[in-house]
Amino acid sequence: MMVTFVSQCEKNALKKTRRVLDAFANRIGDNTWQTLITEDGLLTVKKMLRKTASRSTAVSCHWIRSRSRSQLLWVVGNRNKFNLEGVVPVNWTRRNLLNSEIESDWHFLPLIKGLVGIAALLHDWGKATELFQSKLQPNNPNQFKGDPIRHEWISLLLLRGFIDSTSEHSDKAWLQALSRGDINEQKVQAAIKQSPLRPMAQLPPIAKLVAWLVVSHHRLPLPKQGSPDDYKSETAKSLDDMLAKITQQWGYENSYNKQEFEKRLGQCFEFPNGLMSNSKPWLSRVKRWSSSLLDYQALAIKAIETGGYRVLVHHARLCLMLGDHYYSSQQADKKWQNTTGLFANTDRATKQLKQKLDEHLVGVARYATQAAHLLPAFESELPQATDIESLRKPSPKDYKWQDKAVAQISQWRALQAEKEHKRFGFFALNMASTGCGKTFANAKVMRALSDDSKSLRYILALGLRTLTLQTGDEYAQRVGLDNTQLAVVIGSKAVMELHKKHKTAAHTSHFEQTGSESEAPLLDEDVDFECDIPQENLTTVLNSERDKKFLYAPVLACTIDHIISAIETTRGGKYILPSLRLMSSDLVIDEVDDFTDGDLIAIGRLIHLAGMLGRKVMLSSATIPPSLAEGYFKAYRDGWQLYCATRSASEHIGCAWIDEFNTHLDTNRASSLECAILQYRAKHDEFIQKRQGKLAQQPILRKADISLCEAIYDKKQVPALQVEGEQTKQSAYFSVIAKSILAKHDDHHFVDENTKLNVSFGVVRVANIKPCVALAQFLLSYDWPDDIAVRVMPYHSQQTLLLRSIQEQHLDQVLKRKESANEQPKALQNTLIREHLNKLSSQQNQVKNLIFVLVATPVEEVGRDHDFDWAVIEPSSYRSIIQLAGRVRRHRKTAVESPNVALLQYNYKAIKNAHVDGLKAFVSPGFEKSCRLKSHDLTLLIDIKQIAERLDASARICKPKHINVGYVENLTQAQSLAELEHVVTLHALAYYKSTSSGARGPGTLQGYLEHHWFLTALPQALTPFRKGAPNVKTYLVFDQYQQRSRFCEKDPQGRAIDREEILNIKRIALSAHQLQRLWLVRDFDQACAELADCHAHEQSPLTQRVISLKYGELSFPFNENKRYAYNDQLGLVKVE
C-alpha cells in the first residue's frame, strides 16, 4: 500500500518523528514522507511514533487509494492539527477564556478541594497517641497487636473535641478558629475524654462531611457487634440519621481480648507530645484550607439539601485515599524538621521510623488536593481510540442492523443538539439474538455516543474471568483495535502468557503493622496493554506502570469483578483505580442477566455509580427481563440526577432499545420518578412486543422435548437406595442422559465424507462440578450400542490453568461451526478429530456413529463462541436453559424439524433429595432461594407445547401483567420457572413501590439508592457481589526428585510447600477402557515438559518445575471436613 505521512510537530517532537519516519519512508518535503509499505510495517510505524509522542506531536497517515482518492488512516498526537479528513488548517481563530469550559462545569470543585485539604490534614491526627507512637518503635512487643481504638476514630474524636471546644456549634466557629491557628490542646484533650458515644451526631454541615472522610479513609463503617442482619429492617432517611448510628463498635475497636483492651485503652487518650500545634508547616496548611472552606458554607448546605453531597464525598474520599496511598509509599523527607517528635509510619523493609506525622499529613494534603484539582482531567482528558477503520466501514449484509442502529442514534443526537447543548444521560439495551454480532454492535454504538461521535473510550465488563483474553482478541481482530488501544485485564499473568503462547503456536501484605495501610497496591491483576503513557501530571498520583495502564487504555476489557470493585470495596484502596477509570469511561456490561440475588443488587450499585459520574451505560444480553431493565434504568436515573445536581447537565436521559430488527429511541424527560418509570416501562413493553413478533417469523433453530425421569423420582427413597434393580438414583438418572444423547445424535448428525461415519458434537449441561465429573466417568464406562462410539470431555472451572487452557484452545478451534447446509464442518480438519475418525474407520467393527460429548457446568453458558449440534440440559433456571440452548446451532441459520435440545424432567438435586421436606432444588445456581416453586417437575414448570414448536427467550423477556409488587408481596409459591425469575428479579431490582418493612434496608437496592446506607459497608456486607466460600489457591508443582507433580501452596516468599495430604486430595485413575473414550487426553507433567523444552534455548531457560509453578494454578473452595479427588482428565472434584 502507498502511504503519505504529514508531520505538524513542534519543538523536539519534530526531530523525534523525523528519525522514525526517515527510517521507513522517503522524505518528499520538509515535513512530508511517502512510501510503499505493508500493513504490519505501518502498524510498526504507528507504535514507534506513539512511543515518542508528546503534546507537540502531530502526525497523520494517508492511504493513497487511487489517482483521485486518498483516505486518512490515523493520527498520532494532537488531532486538532488536522480536520476529520486529515487536512491541515491555513488560518486560526482564538478566544480568551478565564476558565476552561471543563473547569467551570465543576461548580463544587472548590468545595471538594477544601474538604480534601482539611480532611487530609486531620485524617491521621489520632496517630499522636502514646499507644500508636510506642507501637511504631521497632522493638515494641505490641507492634503486631491491633489498637484498642483505631487511629481514625481517635482522629474523629479530636475533631469533635475541637468543635465542642469552640464558642458555638457551627461551621463558622470551628473553621474560623482553625483559620487563626487557635487550637487549645488542653481543651481538646479534655473534650475527647468526655466525647459522646456517637460523635458524628448533630455536627454542623461541613463538619459532618469532614468527619465522615476522616473516619472512612481506610474502611467504611460496619457494625461488629451483633450481625449486619440486625439492620435489615432499619432506615436511614437522612444524613443525620445515618451518622447518628455510627459508633466506635462499627469497626473502630479491637476488643476481642477484654483484659488486653482495658489494659491498653488509656494510652489511646494520652498525647505526651501534644497535638502538633507547634508544627508550623502543618498549622500553616490548616489555616489555609479552613479559610478556604469558610467561603463555601452555603455550597455545602446546598449539596446536602439536594443530595449532591453524595458525589462530593465520593470524589473527596477518592482523592484523600489516593494522596494517602501515594505519599505513604514515598521515602521520608530528610530535610523535614522534627519539631513534634511524632511519626506516622515505619519503613516496611527496615522496620525503622519513616515519615514524621506532620510531614505525612502535609504531604498527603498536597497530593490529595492535587488529585482533586485534576478531577476534570481524569474525566475528560484521558486517551481515546480514534481512526478505527473497521467501525467506519459499513457492516456486512447480515449485520446491517448495526449500521441502522448507529444511524438512528446519530439522528437522535442531532435532534437533541438542536434543543439543548447540555450533556445528556444515556441508558441502552442491546437485546440482539445469539450470534448476531452484539459485541461488534456495542463498539459501533459506543463510538456513536462519544462526544465527537468518532472515538472510543469505554469499559467492557464480562461475566467470567477466562473470557477476557478471548474477547480481547475478538476486539483486536473485528473492531480493529491494537494493543495501544485495548487493555485486557486477566486474573493472573500466567493466563496471559499461556494465551499468547497458543496464539503464537496457531501480594497483599499486612500493611497495618507498619502504620501504612495506604501502601497496599491499587491493582492485583495483570494488564495486557502496550502504550507509552503520556507524561502528564496524572502520573504523579499513580505510582506504578500497571496502575497507569489500567487507567489510560482507551478500551478496557475486564471481568465485572474488576470494575465493580469501585463500589464493592469497603476496606483499603482497591476501589481507587476502578473509580478513576469509571469517571472517564462509558460502561458496557455483557450478559448482565447472568447473575442472581445479591449479585443483581451489587450490579445495580455499579450502574448507579456510572450514572452519578456522568457516564453512559449499555446492557447487552438477549435475555434481559423487564424488571431488570426497569430496575437498572431507575438506578441509572437516580445516579444521573445526582450528577445533574452538581454539574451543568440536562436531566433528560436518552433511552435506546436495540436488536437485529429495530432500534427504538426515546428521551425520558419526566421530572417525577413515577412518570419516568411509567414512560420507560411503556416504551420497553412496546419494543418487546415488536421483538416477539419478529422472532416468531424467524427460522426455528431450536426445539426442545422433555427427557422423563419420573420412574426414578421416588420421595420415599434416599439416594443410596436401589431403584431399577442394581442401579442407584444417580446411575439411573445418568442412564436417562445417555439415552437422550443417543436420541439427539440420531436426529442431528452429519456424515463425514471420508469415513462415512455419522458424527455429531453435543453438550450435556449439568449444574455443578461434582455431578459433572461423575457423569463424565459414567459415560466413559457406559455400555453403548455396538454401532456407537463416544468421545467424552468434562469441562468445568476446577482444572489447572495449563490443562484448561489446552482444553479451551481445542474447543475454540473445533466448535466454531459456520458452515453452510451442505458443507463439511471445519472441525473435521482438526488433527485430533481426524485421528478419532480414522482410527474408528480403520478398525474392523460395527461402529457407524461417533458422538463427541462435552459434559459442562455453567462455564459453557456465557461468552463461549461454541456451536453444537444438540444439547441435553439439567435445568437450573429458565435462563440457564435459554443460554445453553444458544450454543446449539449458534451460527447456522437453517430451520430444524425435530427437537435438538433435551430438557431433563428433574434436576439432580430434586432427584437426590426428593425425600427432603421443603426442598429448594433450583438453587446454586438458580432462583429458588428467595421463593419456592410449586413443583420441581419441569413438565409443570414450563410450556411443553411451546418449547416443542420453538425454544426461545420469549417467556423470559416478556413479563405477565399480573406480576407486580402486590403480587410479589403475597406470593408463597411460583407457578413456573419463568415466573420465579420475574418475581425474584422484580423483588431485587424494581421493588420501589413497596412500603413493607425492610424495603429500604441497607441490603436492598432501593435502600442504597434512596437512603444513606452508602456511607457504610452494610450494603456490601448484606448483599455482596459473588458471595461464596473463599477459594484456596494451590499449584500443581513438579518434584524433580520424585518425578511427579504434587499440590502445593506458596509461602510468602513464593516457595512451594507440599499440601496435598493436608488438603485431603487423593489421585484417582481412569481405566484403559475409559481412557480410550476420552475426546482429549491431557497430561500435566508432559505439557510442562514440552513448554520447558520450548524455553531450553533461551538465555534464561525455564525448568519443568518453574513452568509448573507458573501454570499449575488451581483455585477451589476448601473445606477441611471434605475429601477431594484429582485426575488430569477430570480436574479436581469434592467427594463424600
In a domain, 1131, yes or no: yes
Set of cell numbers at residue 786: 455396538
Residues 314 and 252 placed together within one structural domain of the fold: yes
More confident residue, 166 or 543: 166
| pLDDT (0 to 100) of residue 490 | 61
In a domain, 368, yes or no: yes
Residues 767 and 891 placed together within one structural domain of the fold: yes
| pLDDT (0 to 100) of residue 224 | 83
Sequence-distant (≥ 6) Cβ neighbours of residue 482 within 8 angstroms: 43, 46, 47, 476
Residues 710 and 626 placed together within one structural domain of the fold: no
Do you find a cis peptide bond into 1117, omega within 30 degrees of 0?
Answer: no
Residue pair 1088/1107 in contact (Cβ under 8 Å)? The answer is yes
Number of structural domains (the chain) is: 5
Element of type H or E holding 1084: helix 1084-1094
Residues 818 and 918 placed together within one structural domain of the fold: yes
Set of cell numbers at residue 998: 425492610
Return the closest-CA partner of residue 560 out of 507, 624, 604.
604
Helix (H, G, I), strand (E, B) or coil at 64: strand
Residue pair 792/1079 in contact (Cβ under 8 Å)? The answer is yes
Weakest mean pLDDT among 477-486, 898-907, 1083-1092: 477-486
End position of a domain, from candidates 914, 932, 958:
958
Q: Residues 956-983: pLDDT tens digits?
A: 999 999 999 899 988 999 999 999 999 9
In a domain, 513, yes or no: no
Strands 704-707 and 750-751: unpaired
In a domain, 526, yes or no: no
Residues 22 and 61 placed together within one structural domain of the fold: yes
Q: Residues 1066-1089: pLDDT tens digits?
A: 999 999 999 999 999 999 999 999
Residues 653 and 722 placed together within one structural domain of the fold: no
Return the closest-CA partner of residue 583 out of 546, 625, 537, 550.
550
Provide φ and ψ at 111, rounded to 5°: -70, -40
In a domain, 411, yes or no: no
The Cβ of residue 693 has, within 10 Å, a number of other Cβ atoms equal to 10
Helix (H, G, I), strand (E, B) or coil at 1087: helix
CA distances from residue 74 to 84, 585, 1049 in whole angstroms, order as listed: 10, 22, 49
d(CA 566, CA 314): 10
Residues 813 and 954 placed together within one structural domain of the fold: yes
Q: Residues 302-357: pLDDT tens digits?
A: 999 999 999 999 999 999 998 998 898 889 999 999 999 999 999 888 889 999 99
In a domain, 971, yes or no: no
Residues 625 and 731 placed together within one structural domain of the fold: no
d(CA 941, CA 567): 37
The DSSP-derived string for 593-624 is TS--HHHHHHHHHHHHHHHHTT--EEEE-TT-
In a domain, 742, yes or no: yes
In a domain, 925, yes or no: yes
Residues 112 and 38 placed together within one structural domain of the fold: no
d(CA 482, CA 571): 35
Return the closest-CA partner of residue 904 out of 1067, 1048, 1065, 704.
704
Residue pair 269/192 in contact (Cβ under 8 Å)? The answer is yes
User: How confident is the model over 476-500, as a mean pLDDT?
Assistant: 65
Q: Residues 358-407: pLDDT tens digits?
A: 999 999 999 999 989 989 888 888 888 877 777 888 888 889 999 999 99
Q: Residues 712-731: pLDDT tens digits?
A: 887 556 555 544 444 688 99
End position of a domain, from candidates 958, 983, 1018:
958
Residues 70 and 215 placed together within one structural domain of the fold: no
Residue pair 247/231 in contact (Cβ under 8 Å)? The answer is no
* DSSP character at residue 146: P
End position of a domain, from candidates 631, 660, 689:
660
* Cβ density class 725-746: b for 16+ within 10 Å, e for less: eeebbbbbbbbbbbebbebbbe
Residues 121 and 264 placed together within one structural domain of the fold: yes
**Could you tell me the pLDDT band of residue 498, with boundaries at 50, 70 and 90?**
low
Contacts 24+ apart (CB under 8 A), 671-680: 673/634, 673/637, 673/992, 676/634, 676/637, 677/630, 677/633, 677/634, 677/992, 680/630, 680/633, 680/655
pLDDT of 267 over the 50 cut? yes
Q: What is the reported pTM?
A: 0.89
Q: Which domain holds residue 1055?
A: 1031-1135
Provide φ and ψ at 903, rounded to 5°: -105, 125
Q: Residues 662-696: pLDDT tens digits?
A: 999 999 999 999 999 999 999 999 999 999 999 99
Residue pair 428/436 in contact (Cβ under 8 Å)? The answer is no
d(CA 201, CA 204): 9
Residues 749 and 835 placed together within one structural domain of the fold: yes
Q: Cell 476502578, residue?
A: 578
- Beta bridge partners, 902, equal 705, 872
* DSSP character at residue 571: B
Residue 785 sits in a domain whose CATH number is 3.40.50.300
- Beta bridge partners, 430, equal 620, 658
Residue 65 sits in a domain whose CATH number is 3.30.70.240
